[in-house]
């Protein structure tokens, strides 16, 4: 896939995107929320977010909503990422390095298997 550069390319992209078949997440759409409070940023949350977006881009995964949240009070466990796939439960992960983020994308988001090692119990 050639890199898109100009606004003209964007016009074409709009048409293609609506037709192209892409890798879909297990159980439909997924929501990924990355903690981006001061504590999260200091702990490396931007790199975590970068890894998630990079995965979406290279693996061509469609249907993922990525948002951010502020500090949820567990600063020592940052970077924190919350994942909800389809109608499944919201799982909160702690100490999510870029590598762990890639695992979560592969195992939880794409295959529906929660990465138990990094889950913060409710």
Partner 1 sequence: MREITLHLLDIAENSVAAQAKTVFIAVCEDIPADRLSASVKDDGKGMDAETLASVVDPFVTSRTTRKVGLGIPLLKAAAEACDGQLQMASQLGKGTTLEVEFRRSHIDRMPLGDLGSTILTLVVAYPHIHWLFSYKVIPDVETGAMQEFLFDDAPIKAEIGDIPLTEPDVLAFFRNYLEEGILAVQQPALLI
Q: Which residues bind partner 1 (CB under 8 A)?
A: 1, 3-5, 7, 9-11, 13-14, 16-18, 22, 34, 36-38, 41-42, 46-47, 49-50, 53, 56-62, 64-68, 70-73, 75
Shortest separation between residue 89's beta carbon and partner 1, angstroms: 22
In the beta sheet, which residues pair with residue 34? Answer: 68, 81
| Cα separation of the two ends of the chain | 42
Shortest separation between residue 43's beta carbon and partner 1, angstroms: 10
Shortest separation between residue 91's beta carbon and partner 1, angstroms: 19
Rounded CA-CA distance 44/41 in Å is 5
Q: Which residue's CB is nearer to partner 1, number 9 or number 116?
A: 9
């Amino acid at each position: 896939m050639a890199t898109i550069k100009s606004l003209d390319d964007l016009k074409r992209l709009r048409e293609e995107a609506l037709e192209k078949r892409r890798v879909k997440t297990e159980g439909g759409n997924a929501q990924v929320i990355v903690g981006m409070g001061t504590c999260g940023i200091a702990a490396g949350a931007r790199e975590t977010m970068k890894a998630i977006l990079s995965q979406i881009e290279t693996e061509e995964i469609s249907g993922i909503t990525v948002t951010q949240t502020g500090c949820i009070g567990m600063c020592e466990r940052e970077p924190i990422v919350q994942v909800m796939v389809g109608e499944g439960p919201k799982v909160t992960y702690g100490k999510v390095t870029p590598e762990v983020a890639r695992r979560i994308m592969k195992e939880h988001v794409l295959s529906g298997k929660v990465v138990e090692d990094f889950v913060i119990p409710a």
